Amino acid sequence: MSELRWHPLLEEWVAVAAHRQVRPIALGGKADTTPSCPFCPGGAEGLNGPTEFVAFDNKFPSFGGSGGLSAAPADGELYRRKRGKGVCEVVLYSPKHGSTLAEESREHLFKLIEVWTDRYRVLGARRDVKYVYIFENKGAVIGVTLTHPHGQVYAFPFIPPRVERELKAEARYQRRHHRCMLCDMMKTETRQGLRIVAANRAFAAWIPFFARYPYEVHIVSRRHLGHLGEMTAGERWALAGILKTILAKYDHLFGFSMPYIMLMHQTPTDGRRHRSHHFHIEFYPPHRSRDKIKFLAGCESGAGTFINDTIVEEKAAELRRTPPRVSR
């Protein structure tokens, strides 16, 4: 059962999915397989044979699933609720339990991008889906319960609130300047070069001027496009290359496999054009140093204001100097 409850103070939906409390936990290390992992070959959802990827419905979805609403009563305008429609999928990256995306080849990442593109198109074509959100949670410190390399795809029945704020900001900037906000950022970042971490002919990656996490990186397409489905094969290959570089730099930075949240911002699938939106990928690593974590405490969680304890340009230079090699 999944339901949406309206938060009248913030004017946004909160998903209630109590069945997720019993989802399995398998935090194995670098072994190729772990008996308790349902994603390993032979497991309940595992890859079999030489298959590289598989996408399937999450058995513990935040949206969708079977069952009705909870017994709690709704009460007028303040206490509204509705069924949590939508789709939650898991995308397995590899049959090897101990692998990470940073350790995979550029060719492997290119094929994964094609899988992501397919899921965006298929799920986005559904009438009940307004936003296709592709993301990965990596590392126990993030809260991951299954360490087998995998990502997720959430097909939202609404546009998530942070994405909606971003879309409105992009649209306002477009109306004021008759230009795209991220296209202008691309010009500024490539001209200054202070925050650039890596770049190729189709993408550039930088720690943003306004970074909320010390090693936050945004990968932005040089060409103005809204989603994976608008990319050429050459652009997908270039995206695979810069993803490989950033992931490898993260893993070499402190000598261990870097935890992170990776998320993809693409055009909503709500039937509107959203011409001002510009495709990008954001990474949020929680580490602010080798042995210190950036926790979201009172100011961040309660007030919504992030405090970055580092100088963005210094962190960008540090990450830029880090060789793109993978720690084993």
Kindly list the catalytic residues.
150
For the record, the structure tokens of 57 come out as 């419905």
Helix (H) / strand (E) element for 251: namely: helix 233-253
Q: At what angle do helices 233-253 and 312-321 cross, to 10 degrees?
A: 100
Find tokens 């084993």 and name the residue: 328
Residue 19 Cα distances to 1, 15, 48, 80, angstroms:
7, 12, 28, 21
Contact 234, 273 (CB under 8 A): no
d(CA 188, CA 20): 44
d(CA 13, CA 263): 20
Contact 122, 57 (CB under 8 A): no
Nearest alpha-carbon partner for 223 in 196, 195, 204: 204
d(CA 193, CA 191): 6
What totals of helices (H) and strands (E) does the chain contain, helices first? 5, 14
Q: Which long-range contacts (CB under 8 A, 24 or more apart) does 58-61 make?
A: 58/88, 58/89, 58/90, 58/152, 59/23, 60/17, 60/19, 60/20, 60/22, 60/23, 61/2, 61/17, 61/86, 61/87, 61/88
